């Protein structure tokens, strides 16, 4: 009150009052107007001067029409954020007056606020190349962001239509992925803060963020990330061995060094993976904070966020092939409550069985069901059984409908959703068979026999020929062990029927065969981003080692002309990278080769 009632401090200025200057400008006298613009543009302008001018502008906003857009833009460029509290409060009051009296300036005001969502830019030049980026050492950056959000809330309070004008500006200002991690981190964090006080924008903001994350994800294949980590580890160990014994460090210095090492060990070697890791950590934290109030799960908040995330999943994730990490936002929110996981499975199931959906979407829904059932530790056996019942019953009905038709032969183009569902069932059984049989072996075996795998495997559509060989071989070993169905005769016959493709290149002829006709992948394969991984791991089902007996069961059928080295790689769980196509020798059809897009981590570990 004392500040508002006190008269503005006297400052050095030129020209008359603001009203006089504006009236003269309207009459064509521009000298004082140009002087005014010059004073406002002065980089050394003092706090008292800014307050004095803003106080006058607040009383004259009615004159700041479209014709004075240039003057308004100068006012919007004033360095108000890093000033005293008095300047900040006066500027927020000016913004409120301006947008309420002259909505024509709403967009420039919003652009100015959103431009402050990243740390200030510092100019850096190396060899005449501008490599300027954010100033990561600004101590007041968090306080500045708080002020920006106050400004945005002030504008939204005076202009109810702010959200529809704000969203295109948020999209337009999203930093490029080659900007620093800090710039991307701050912008995404501030976007998510906007959803708290402008909830109508939440779905669109989540779409924007996840779309950008998805571009990062598909730009960094898992193999590239692993290669970068391996190269970094090798170079790190070489440096360590070189420096060993050269310095006798004090105990406190050692402690500092260890702390720095542990911090740097969380960094991803691949630069894009590092950005993705940081942004996924922010997204997971946001999901947790929205769904929990005072440490307890808020059901209504969680349901609302789940609906938004499912909508984004359908629009962006489901049509995207072979993303590795971004889809885990659904995995994470489903871990909060079993009802959410069951709702997600039901949602995918409806996508799969609906014949009006494109075949590729139905196939992808099938891979998500299989991967989710196999990897989500929070899904109990009773839910796994209920899901298997739905999937297997649908498979049997599909076989019945095709048995007498003209299309009852093996063809991915005709029966893609069927093969995808078969693979989902096989994959789920591989991961969950021990739990299904746990407790009461007789009852468990009776349940598995009731699924009638024999009919599925023996049908004319021949799913064992289409599904990924790694899944087929493990499924065959498990079903043989429990005498559910004997798959090896069909596998042998399929191997003999594979038609090799001869491709001529500069190195000569190469005989190849496709080992992944479905072009399928496992969306919940192991998560490898170091920071955000800590959020997922507690809910994640890792592959458990098979017993020596299981290994023996696998060893015999998989050796079909493969060399000893190839067989060893397979048994040790190493995945050959082959981009879906593998070179083979004539009459030697190696069916145990894993596809690079869908590696079973530690597929058959060596005991």
How many domains in the chain? 3
The span from the CA of 344 to the CA of 331, in Å, is: 9
Give the pLDDT of residue 26.
Answer: 85
Q: Which of 348, 217, 205 is nearest to 290 (CA)?
A: 205
Q: What is the mean pLDDT of residues 517-545?
A: 89
Mean pLDDT of 262-275: 82
Identify the residue with better confidence: 254 or 392: 392
Tokens at 160, concatenated: 């109810």
Distance between CA 138 and CA 471 in Å, rounded?
52
Asked if pLDDT for residue 433 goes beyond 80, the answer is yes
Query: What confidence score (pLDDT) does residue 578 get?
Result: 32
Instruction: Specify the pLDDT at position 317.
Output: 95
423: containing domain: 379-523
Asked which of 42-56, 401-415, 509-523, 579-593 is least confident by mean pLDDT, the reply is 579-593
Calculate the alpha carbon distances from 8 to 13, 22, 71, 541, 590 in Å. 13, 20, 22, 67, 86
In the structure, what pLDDT confidence band is assigned to residue 330 with cuts at 50, 70 and 90? Answer: very high
Joined tokens for residue 273: 């993976």
Any domain includes 430: yes
Q: Domain boundary residue among 129, 151, 169? A: 169
Give residue 325's pLDDT.
95
| 151 plus 202 within the same structural domain | no
Could you tell me the pLDDT band of residue 597, with boundaries at 50, 70 and 90? very low
Are 26 and 159 within one domain? yes
In this structure, the answer to whether residues 201 and 93 fall within a common structural domain is no
**pLDDT tens digits, residue range 10-30?**
444 555 788 888 888 888 888
Contact 344, 310 (CB under 8 A): yes
Looking at the structure, do residues 17 and 100 belong to the same domain, yes or no?
yes
Say whether both 408 and 492 belong to one domain: yes
If asked whether residues 184 and 332 sit together in one domain, one would say: yes
What local confidence, expressed as pLDDT, does residue 238 receive?
60
Residue 272 in any domain: the answer is yes
pTM: 0.81
Assess if residue 238 is contained within a domain: no
Shared domain for 305 and 275, answered yes or no, is yes
Round to whole Å and give the CA distance between 107 and 392.
56
Residues 156 and 300 in one domain: no
Q: In the predicted model, what is the mean pLDDT of residues 478-487?
A: 90
Contact between 541 and 375 (Cβ < 8 Å): yes
pLDDT digits (tens, 9 = 90+) for 102-157: 999 999 999 999 999 999 876 565 655 655 555 555 567 889 999 999 999 999 99
Whether 54 and 106 share a structural domain: yes
More confident site: 246 or 399 = 399
Sole residue written with tokens 């072996």: 441
**Mean pLDDT for the stretch of residues 311-321:** 94
* Same domain, yes or no: 63 and 185: no
Q: What phi, psi does 538 have (nearest 5°)?
A: -60, -20
The confidence score (pLDDT) of residue 275 equals 95
Task: Tell me, yes or no, whether 501 and 543 share the same domain.
Answer: no
Looking at the fold, whether 284 and 387 belong to one and the same domain comes out as no
pLDDT in tens, 368-422: 999 999 999 999 999 999 999 999 999 999 998 887 777 777 778 888 899 999 9
Task: Note whether residue 80 is domain-resident.
Answer: yes
Tokens read off for 402 = 């095709």
Please give the structure tokens belonging to residue 149: 């959000």
Residues 6+ apart with CB under 8 A from 430: 374, 471, 474, 475, 478
């Amino acid at each position: 009150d004392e500040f508002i009632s006190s008269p503005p401090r006297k400052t050095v200025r030129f020209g008359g009052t603001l009203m006089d200057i504006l009236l003269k400008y309207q009459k064509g006298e521009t000298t004082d107007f140009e002087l005014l613009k010059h004073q406002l543009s002065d980089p050394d302008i003092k706090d008292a001067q800014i307050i004095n001018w803003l106080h006058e502008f607040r009383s004259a906003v009615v004159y700041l029409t479209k014709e004075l857009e240039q003057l308004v833009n100068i006012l919007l460029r004033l360095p108000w954020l890093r000033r005293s509290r008095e300047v900040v409060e006066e500027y927020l009051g000016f913004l409120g007056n301006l947008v309420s009296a002259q909505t024509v300036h709403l967009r420039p005001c919003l652009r100015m606020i959103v431009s402050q969502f990243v740390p200030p830019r510092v100019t850096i030049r190396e060899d005449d190349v501008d490599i300027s980026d954010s100033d990561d050492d600004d101590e007041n950056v968090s306080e500045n962001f708080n002020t920006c959000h106050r400004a945005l809330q002030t504008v939204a309070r005076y202009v109810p239509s702010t959200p529809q004008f704000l969203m295109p500006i948020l999209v337009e200002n999203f930093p490029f992925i080659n900007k620093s991690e800090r710039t991307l981190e701050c912008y995404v964090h501030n976007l998510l803060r906007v959803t708290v006080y402008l909830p109508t924008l939440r779905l669109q903001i989540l779409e924007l963020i996840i779309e950008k994350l998805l571009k990062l994800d598909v730009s960094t294949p898992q193999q590239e990330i692993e290669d970068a980590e391996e190269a970094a580890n090798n170079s790190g160990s070489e440096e360590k061995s070189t420096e060993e014994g050269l310095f006798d460090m004090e105990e406190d210095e050692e402690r500092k060094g260890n702390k720095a090492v542990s911090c740097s060990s969380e960094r991803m070697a691949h630069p894009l993976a590092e950005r993705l890791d940081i942004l996924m950590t922010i997204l997971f934290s946001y999901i947790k904070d929205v769904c929990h109030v005072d440490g307890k799960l808020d059901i209504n908040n969680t349901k609302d966020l789940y609906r938004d995330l499912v909508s984004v999943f359908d629009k962006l994730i489901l049509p995207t092939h072979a993303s590795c990490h971004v889809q885990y936002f659904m995995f994470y929110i489903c871990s909060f409550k079993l009802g959410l996981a069951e709702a997600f499975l039901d949602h995918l199931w409806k996508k799969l069985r609906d014949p009006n959906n494109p075949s590729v979407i139905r196939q992808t829904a099938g891979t998500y069901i299989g991967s989710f059932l196999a990897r989500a530790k929070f899904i109990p056996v009773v839910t796994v059984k209920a899901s298997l019942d739905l999937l297997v019953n649908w498979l049997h009905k599909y076989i019945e409908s095709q048995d007498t038709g003209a299309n009852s032969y093996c063809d991915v183009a005709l029966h893609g959703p069927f093969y995808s569902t078969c693979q989902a069932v096989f994959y789920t059984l591989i991961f969950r068979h021990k739990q299904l049989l746990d407790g009461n072996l007789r009852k468990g075996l009776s349940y598995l026999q009731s699924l009638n795998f024999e009919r599925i495997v023996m049908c004319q559509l021949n799913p064992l020929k289409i599904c990924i060989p790694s899944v087929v071989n493990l499924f065959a070993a498990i079903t043989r062990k429990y005498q559910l169905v004997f798959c090896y005769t069909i596998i042998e016959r399929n191997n003999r029927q594979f038609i090799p493709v001869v491709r001529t290149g500069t190195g000569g002829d190469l005989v190849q065969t496709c080992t992944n006709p479905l072009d399928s992948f496992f969306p919940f394969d192991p998560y490898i981003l170091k920071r955000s991984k800590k959020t997922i791991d507690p809910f994640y089902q890792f592959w458990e080692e098979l017993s020596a007996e299981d290994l023996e069961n696998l060893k015999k059928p998989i050796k079909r002309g493969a060399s000893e080295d190839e067989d060893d790689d397979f048994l040790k769980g190493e995945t050959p990278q082959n981009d879906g196509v593998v070179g083979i020798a004539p009459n030697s059809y190696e069916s145990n080769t894993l596809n690079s897009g869908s590696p079973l981590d530690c597929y058959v570990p060596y005991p």
